[in-house]
Amino acid sequence: MRKERRVVITGLGTINPIGNNVEEYFANLEKGVSGADTVSLFDPTNFKSRIACEVKDYDWSRYFDRKEVRKYDRFCQFGLIAATEAVEDAAFDFETLNKERAGVIWSSGVGGIQSFREEVMGWAEGDGIPRFSPFFVPHLITDIVAGHISIKYGLMGPNYSVSSACASSNHALIDAFNLIRWGKADVIVTGGSEAPITIEGVGGFSSMHALSTRNDDPKHASRPFDAQRDGFVIAEGAGALVLEEYEHAVARGAKIYCEVAGTGMSADTHHMTAPHPEGAGAILSMREALADADMSVEDIDYINTHGTSTPLGDIAETKAIVNLFGEHAYKLNISSTKSMTGHLLGATAAVEALACVMAITKGIVPPTINVENVDPEIDPRLNLTLTTAQHREVRSALSNTFGFGGHNSTVIFRKI
């Protein structure tokens, strides 16, 4: 039987509402910066929810030429930007890298929703003749980012996309982790990207009563665990990580951030959009990740929660943590970085994985901002890392991400 191999992280990249690169993102996480504001990408006047976490000061011409950018929907642009930063951070020698054993596993929840609207509305408002751009389908499909990244760097190994709503980029990371430790690849670029701040994206989630309507106070709208939370703040951006087999990374003298120690997955089997009220699926996912990593609850120092700022979700997840971790739950740092970034849907887990890497490598636990009064249904003994970042040694960090449909995913990162 083939021995399972260790998997480490050697490259990081992001573009998101509080940072257009990793350095800026880490700095603003530590400072507790909110990325929320009134929607500027379209006129939200007639919408119930008029707030979002948009990427700031984005200018595609800094990254792409005019001919090139025509090939990419906004979600694809973000994915390529984050992946490029991560690959450059990993500092490969592409003359010696075995590209047949290097791949890309990417994710998105909704893909090119902006391009879909532009093309379909262009036809509907036209003369009835179906004139669609030859780029329509390549703009739309969620797997196209993986394809573009592999083409850019000539990576010939495993290449595909994962879509499981808000759990998507955790599932992509889990697949990348497993393929490397099972010997199917040595290097995989993984992550997720999303650009859902469109009329359809905001309108659709708003009609489900999933979005915050704190329109007069956008900066404080994303407030996980707060008694007055009223929904999540939709966000855009991307996060990328380079996963690499440990011996392969050591042999080339790579900078190693931390190790991916174990992963877990489960299903709630409860409701299309609501979590199990006692967090049954979340418990199973976290328990599976601990078993996979051969770790006990006492080995975990920080949990980056799914923590979307929805009334049901935050309660269910904290109940799950208390149920599984017992007395150790009160020794943990717990936080929701969505209080700052908003909810990036299929890209959110990748961006939050970077927050876990920061906690481990810098000894800085990012805060949960905007909490004025903790929901009385949440155990008051939990350290939710309110308002201000906390400095502590983080040996291991656990990241939860859950998606509509009852998809639960957990990844554990460990200091090496």
Q: Which residues are catalytic?
A: 166, 306, 343
Eight-state DSSP code of residue 55: P
Q: Could you tell me which of 388, 306, 343 has the C-alpha nearest to residue 51? A: 343
Where helices occur in 129-240 by DSSP H, the ranges are 136-140, 144-153, 168-181, 199-207
List, in sequence order, every beta strand (DSSP E) within 268-310. 302-304
Torsion, Cα of 347, 349, 351, 357 (10° steps): -160
The length of the chain is: 416
Q: Are strands 159-162 and 102-107 parallel, antiparallel or unpaired?
A: parallel
Q: How many CA atoms lie within 13 A of 63 on its CB side?
A: 21
Q: Could you tell me which of 274, 238, 212, 246 has the C-alpha nearest to residue 354? A: 238
The residues, ordered by sequence, that sit 6+ positions from 384 with a Cβ below 8 Å of its Cβ are 225, 334, 335, 336, 368, 371, 374, 378
What amino acid is encoded at 126 in this protein? G
What amino acid is encoded at 371 in this protein? V
- Displacement of CA 361 from its chain's centroid (Å): 19
What amino acid is encoded at 194 in this protein? E
